[in-house]
C-alpha cells in the first residue's frame, strides 16, 4: 500500500487511498469527505504510533519519495532538547534547565502539554518557540495574564517579537484584530475568543428569525451574516431579509462591508495556538470551551499550559485533550464517561467514583511534561513577578486629574482638594485599588498636623485608631468605582492558585478599604481565611496557628504593617495587592513564608497598575530605599517615569541626569500619555 505525504492547513499528514474501513485500525485514522482516502497524523508525538500501526495493517508498505524523506528527516525528542540547550536566543535571561527541556519538547511535538506549576516560567518556552519557528502564535489566556504575556514577550526577546493583546471594547478589539500584521504573538482572553473567535450569528438574530418564521435562518442567510462581526448589522440585515430582501443581495452587501478587514480571530492565519491555564476550558458544555475547541482545529501546532489540568475528575481532561487532537481520545463524551466514570446504580446522573484512571494517566503522560517548583532545581528559591493591569476610564480620569490639578471630582459635592503632594500620592494609590477616601469633616485637617509625615510613611489614615486627631473631626467615607480591575484580577489569580486543594496564599494589602474588598471576595467565593489588621493584631498568634494548621483556611489576608514576627510557611504563594511606603513593612512582610520551616520554593506576585505611581513605588522598595522621606521632600520623584532609571543609576533629585527641572510637566506620570519608556520589570 502506498503512503503519501500531504499538508492540511500546514499540518503534515500521511494519506492512503483506501475506501474500506481498514484505515480505522490505525491510530488517528480519519476518512476524508470523499470517503476514498484515509488520513493519519505524520507528526510527533503521534507519528511513531502511526508508523507502527501502518506496518501492521497495510503490508507491504511503500512510501512516496516525499513521505520517505519526511520520515527520514524527523529528529528525535532528544535531538531537539540538545538543540534547545545550545541555540542562541534573544533576551537577557538564559533558560533554566527545565525550560530548555520544555522548549526542546515543544519543538519536537506538534501537540503537547506543559503541566508546570505556577512560578516555573512556562511562558518563556512558548516565546522561544515562536522566535525559533518564525511563525505567528495565538495565545488564549485569562484576562489577568494578558498584559503579563505582552510584558514577557518583549522582555525575553529584546523586542525581537511584537506582542498584541486584543483588549478593550468590541470596536477596539476589531481594530486591534486588523492590526495583526504588526504582531508576532497575538494575545486573546478566553472570553474574547468566545465572542470573536469563530464566525457566528448573534443570539438576538436567531431569536428574531425563530419568532417570526418558526425556524432558524436558512444557510444562504447564515453565510451572509457570519461575514460580519457586528450584532447590530447582522440584526439589520436579518430584518431586511424578513421583509423580503433576497439573501443573495444581503450576501453581496455583507461582502462589501467586510471587504479588506478581518472579522474573526480564526482569520488571523497563525500557525501555533496556546491555551494558557487550560483548565479554563475544562467544562465541556460551556460556549467558551466549544469555541476554543473549534478554533484549535485550524492550527497545526497546539499546546496546553496548566499546573492543574484536573483535580481528580477525569471529565475535566476530555475537552482539553480534544483541543490538542480529536484522536487523543477517539470516542465521544458519553463513551468517555462510561469508560472512566462510575455512576450510582439508582441515579445515572450521580457520580460515585472513577475507574481506569491509570489508563487515562498514561495517555496524558505520553504527551506532556510535568514540573513542580521543587522539581526545577536551578530555579531561585524565591521568584518575584509583577502582574500588570489597566485602570478603567473612570479611574484614569480621576488619576490624571489628581496628577494635573491636585483635585478629584466627587459626586454631588465639591471636588476633593489634595492639599499637598504626600496626600496626593496616597490618593493615587487608592485610585489604583478601585476606591478613594473622602473626608466628611474638615478636609484640610491633616495639613497642619505635626504627625503628617509619620502618618503617610506608616500608612496611618485620618480617623483610624492611630490617628491623634478627634475621631468625629476626621470621619471619612469610602468612594468606590463601579468596576475594580485589581480586585477582578485577584479573583482570577485565586481561582488558579487555589485550584490545587493543598495550596495556600498570603495576600498583603495596605488600606482598610482594600482589606474589606478582598474579604468580601473571599466570602463570596466561600474560601476559608483569616484577616489580620490593626484592630486585631493582638490575636496574630491565634490567626497564625489557624492558617498554618487548618487545611480549610486557604488565605491569610493581612495589612502589610502587621507582617512582623509571624511565620506563614504553609503558603508558598504571596500576593501583594498593594504596598505601603514603608521599607520596613516591605522587608518584614516578604519574608513571612521564606524562612526556616519552608520546604518548598516560593513565588511573590506584585499587582501593579500600568504606568502609575505603583510602578515607581515598587522600583523604590526593590532597591531598598527608605522612601518615606521622599513623600515630603521629593514628592515629584514618585510621579516621574524616569524614577526607576534614577534608582538603578543612583541619580539624586535636581542633580545631573535629573529631568524634573527642565521637563517636569512632560515627565510626570499621567496615565495614558507618552512616557520615556516601559515600566521597570523584574525577571
Looking up residue 288, the CATH number of its domain turns out to be 3.40.50.10810
DSSP code for 95: P
> Which is higher by pLDDT, 636 or 585?
585
CA distance 276 to 190: 9
CB atoms inside a 10 Å sphere around CB 314: 20
Domain of 226, in residue numbers: 203-263
One domain for residues 66 and 119: no
Residue 383 pairs in a beta bridge with 603
One domain for residues 471 and 543: no
DSSP code for 603: E
Asked whether residue 149 is assigned to any structural domain, the reply reads yes
Asked if pLDDT for residue 339 goes beyond 90, the answer is: yes
Average pLDDT over residues 587-605: 72
- Whether the Cβ atoms of residue 184 and residue 252 lie closer than 8 Å to each other: no
One domain for residues 531 and 557: yes
Any idea how long the chain is?
683
Residue 596's pLDDT is what?
47
The number of domains in the chain is: 5
Asked whether residue 398 is assigned to any structural domain, the reply reads yes
CA distance 351 to 127: 40
Residue 417 pairs in a beta bridge with 407
Burial class (CB in 10 A: 0-12, 13-18, 19+), 211: exposed
Rounded to the nearest 10°, the torsion over CA 52, 56, 59, 65 is -10
Average pLDDT over residues 164-179: 91
One domain for residues 178 and 293: yes
CA distance 477 to 302: 51
Average pLDDT over residues 191-220: 92
One domain for residues 126 and 233: no
Asked if pLDDT for residue 161 goes beyond 60, the answer is: yes
CA distances in angstroms from 432 to 365, 392, 425, 627, listed in the order given: 43, 9, 11, 19
Asked whether residue 115 is assigned to any structural domain, the reply reads yes
Average pLDDT over residues 393-419: 89
283-287, 290-294, 498-502: segment of lowest average pLDDT? 498-502
Asked whether residue 644 is assigned to any structural domain, the reply reads no
CA distance 330 to 28: 8
Residue 421's pLDDT is what?
77
pLDDT digits (tens, 9 = 90+) for 527-584: 999 998 878 777 777 888 899 899 999 999 999 888 666 778 888 899 999 998 888 7
One domain for residues 257 and 299: no
CA distance 648 to 14: 57
One domain for residues 473 and 491: no
Residue 370's pLDDT is what?
95
Q: What is the mean pLDDT of the chain?
A: 87
Rounded to the nearest 10°, the torsion over CA 106, 109, 111, 114 is -40
Average pLDDT over residues 171-182: 88
One domain for residues 8 and 32: yes
CA distance 405 to 490: 31
One domain for residues 488 and 469: no
Query: 480, 515, 538: which is the final residue of a domain?
Result: 480
One domain for residues 546 and 598: yes
Residue 387 pairs in a beta bridge with 607
Query: 347, 374, 401: which is the final residue of a domain?
Result: 374
One domain for residues 44 and 89: no
Q: What is the pTM of this model?
A: 0.80
* Alpha helices, H only, 285-366: 287-296, 317-324, 333-340, 357-365
Residue 460's pLDDT is what?
74
Residue 632's pLDDT is what?
54
How many percent of the chain have pLDDT more than 90? 59
Average pLDDT over residues 75-84: 97
Asked whether residue 657 is assigned to any structural domain, the reply reads no
Query: 73, 102, 134: which is the final residue of a domain?
Result: 73
CATH of residue 489's domain is 3.40.50.300
One domain for residues 191 and 220: no
Amino acid at each position: 500500500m502506498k503512503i503519501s505525504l500531504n499538508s492540511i492547513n500546514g499540518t503534515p499528514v500521511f494519506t492512503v487511498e483506501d475506501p474500506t474501513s481498514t484505515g480505522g485500525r490505525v491510530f488517528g485514522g480519519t476518512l476524508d469527505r470523499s470517503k476514498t482516502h484515509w488520513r493519519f497524523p505524520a507528526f510527533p508525538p503521534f507519528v511513531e504510533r502511526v508508523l507502527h500501526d501502518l506496518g501492521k495493517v497495510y503490508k507491504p508498505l511503500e512510501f512516496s519519495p516525499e513521505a520517505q524523506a519526511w520520515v527520514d528527516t524527523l529528529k528525535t525528542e532528544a535531538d531537539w532538547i540538545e538543540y534547545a540547550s545550545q541555540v542562541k536566543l534573544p533576551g537577557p535571561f538564559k533558560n533554566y534547565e527545565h525550560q530548555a527541556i520544555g522548549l526542546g519538547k515543544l519543538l519536537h511535538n506538534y501537540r503537547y502539554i506543559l503541566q508546570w506549576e505556577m512560578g516555573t516560567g512556562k511562558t518563556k518556552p512558548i516565546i522561544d518557540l515562536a522566535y525559533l519557528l518564525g511563525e505567528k502564535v495565538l495565545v488564549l489566556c485569562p484576562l489577568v495574564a494578558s498584559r503579563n504575556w505582552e510584558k514577557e514577550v518583549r522582555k525575553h526577546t529584546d523586542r525581537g517579537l511584537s506582542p498584541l493583546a486584543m483588549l478593550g471594547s468590541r470596536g477596539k478589539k476589531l481594530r486591534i484584530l486588523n492590526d495583526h500584521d504588526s504582531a508576532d504573538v497575538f494575545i486573546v482572553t478566553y472570553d474574547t475568543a468566545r465572542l470573536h473567535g469563530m464566525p457566528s450569528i448573534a443570539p438576538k438574530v436567531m431569536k428574531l428569525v425563530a419568532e417570526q418564521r418558526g425556524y432558524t435562518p436558512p444557510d444562504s442567510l447564515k453565510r451572509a451574516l457570519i461575514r460580519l462581526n457586528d450584532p447590530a448589522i447582522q440584526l439589520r440585515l436579518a430584518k431586511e431579509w424578513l421583509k423580503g430582501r433576497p439573501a443573495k443581495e444581503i450576501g453581496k452587501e455583507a461582502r462589501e462591508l467586510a471587504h479588506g478587514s478581518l472579522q474573526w480571530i480564526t482569520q488571523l492565519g497563525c500557525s501555533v495556538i496556546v491555551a494558557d491555564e487550560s483548565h479554563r476550558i475544562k467544562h465541556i458544555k460551556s460556549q467558551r470551551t466549544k469555541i476554543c475547541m473549534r478554533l484549535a482545529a485550524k492550527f497545526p501546532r497546539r499546546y496546553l499550559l496548566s499546573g492543574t489540568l484536573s483535580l481528580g475528575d477525569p471529565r475535566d481532561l476530555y475537552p482539553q485533550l480534544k483541543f490538542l487532537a480529536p484522536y487523543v481520545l477517539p470516542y465521544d463524551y458519553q463513551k468517555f464517561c462510561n469508560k472512566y466514570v462510575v455512576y450510582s446504580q439508582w441515579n445515572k446522573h450521580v457520580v460515585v467514583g472513577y475507574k481506569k484512571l491509570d489508563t487515562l494517566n498514561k495517555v496524558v503522560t505520553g504527551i506532556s511534561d510535568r514540573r513542580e517548583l521543587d522539581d526545577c532545581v536551578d530555579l531561585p528559591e524565591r521568584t518575584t513577578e509583577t502582574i500588570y493591569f489597566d485602570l478603567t476610564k473612570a479611574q484614569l480620569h480621576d488619576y490624571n486629574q489628581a496628577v494635573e490639578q491636585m483635585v478629584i471630582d466627587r459626586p454631588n459635592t465639591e471636588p476633593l482638594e489634595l492639599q499637598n503632594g504626600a496626600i496626593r500620592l496616597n490618593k493615587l494609590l487608592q485610585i489604583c485599588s478601585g476606591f478613594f477616601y473622602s473626608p466628611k469633616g474638615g478636609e484640610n485637617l491633616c495639613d497642619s498636623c505635626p504627625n503628617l509625615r509619620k502618618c503617610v510613611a506608616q500608612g496611618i489614615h485620618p480617623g483610624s485608631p492611630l490617628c491623634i486627631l478627634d475621631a468625629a473631626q476626621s470621619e471619612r467615607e469610602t468612594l468606590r468605582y463601579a468596576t475594580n480591575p485589581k480586585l477582578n484580577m485577584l479573583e482570577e489569580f485565586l481561582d488558579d492558585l487555589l485550584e490545587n486543594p493543598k495550596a495556600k496564599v498570603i495576600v498583603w494589602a495596605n488600606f482598610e478599604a482594600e482589606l474589606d474588598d478582598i474579604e468580601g471576595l473571599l466570602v463570596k467565593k466561600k474560601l476559608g481565611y483569616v484577616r489580620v489588621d490593626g484592630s486585631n493584631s493582638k490575636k496574630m498568634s491565634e490567626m497564625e496557628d489557624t492558617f498554618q494548621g487548618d487545611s480549610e483556611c486557604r488565605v491569610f489576608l493581612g495589612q502589610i504593617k502587621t507582617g512582623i514576627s509571624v511565620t506563614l510557611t504553609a503558603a508558598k504563594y504571596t500576593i501583594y495587592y498593594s504596598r505601603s511606603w514603608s521599607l520596613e513593612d516591605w522587608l518584614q512582610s516578604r519574608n513571612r513564608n521564606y524562612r526556616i520551616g519552608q520546604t518548598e520554593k516560593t513565588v511573590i506576585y506584585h499587582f501593579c497598575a500600568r504606568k502609575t505611581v505603583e510602578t515607581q513605588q515598587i522600583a523604590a522598595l526593590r532597591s531598598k530605599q527608605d522612601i518615606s522621606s521622599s513623600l515630603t521632600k521629593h514628592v515629584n520623584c514618585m510621579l516621574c517615569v524616569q524614577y526607576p532609571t534614577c534608582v538603578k543609576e543612583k541619580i539624586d533629585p535636581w542633580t545631573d541626569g535629573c529631568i524634573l527641572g527642565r521637563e517636569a510637566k512632560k515627565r510626570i506620570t499621567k496615565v495614558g500619555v507618552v512616557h520615556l519608556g516601559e515600566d521597570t520589570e523584574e525577571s
